[in-house]
């Protein structure tokens, strides 16, 4: 079941150039940076009243974020919804006719399991489903 909007993913060319904007212009604090090698991306997270902003910087020209930047430029990349059962949420989406980019969740940033729904099936919005890994829930 969807619990909340977890974060908004924002594609940027450079974390070093983008982070000061969010800190100085908006007064937000960067919570940390992380590299997600499997997605060829570096991330930086900010908290904005309980919803996180995830800045995404590509680490390779073939990364999904590099391709997004080349086609659309910097800006909102995806909306992520937190769920308590990512497998059931993927099944519900598939049963409703939504095209899945990932049929099985994989490890994403911030220690979460993630999977994406294709924007052609979600009215043009790249949609991420995310959940805490089972061992994180047990603690």
Cβ-contact 33, 43 below 8 angstroms: yes
What pTM value is reported for the model? 0.91
* Per-residue model confidence as pLDDT tens digits over 52-87: 999 999 999 999 999 999 999 999 999 999 999 999
User: Residue 90 pLDDT more than 80?
Assistant: yes
> pLDDT value at position 134?
77
Domain ranges of the chain: 2-132
Q: Which residue did the predictor score with more confidence, 136 or 119?
A: 119
User: Residue 136 pLDDT more than 60?
Assistant: no
> pLDDT value at position 125?
97
Cβ-contact 106, 63 below 8 angstroms: no
Tell me the average pLDDT of the chain: 95
- CATH for 2-132 is 3.10.180.10
> pLDDT value at position 67?
97
Sort strands 112-117 and 127-132 into parallel, antiparallel or unpaired.
Answer: antiparallel
């Amino acid at each position: 079941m969807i619990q909340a909007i977890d974060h908004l993913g924002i594609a940027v060319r450079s974390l070093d150039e983008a982070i000061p904007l969010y800190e100085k212009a908006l007064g937000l604090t960067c919570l940390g940076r992380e590299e997600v090698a499997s997605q060829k991306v570096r991330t930086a997270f900010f908290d904005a009243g309980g919803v996180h902003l995830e800045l995404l910087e590509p680490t390779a020209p073939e990364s999904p974020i590099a391709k997004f930047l080349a086609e659309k430029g910097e800006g909102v990349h995806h909306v992520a919804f937190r769920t308590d059962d990512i497998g059931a949420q993927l099944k519900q989406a598939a049963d409703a006719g939504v095209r899945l980019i990932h049929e099985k969740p994989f490890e994403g940033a911030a220690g979460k399991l993630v999977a994406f729904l294709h924007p052609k099936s979600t009215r043009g919005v790249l949609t991420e489903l995310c959940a805490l890994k089972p061992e994180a829930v047990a603690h």
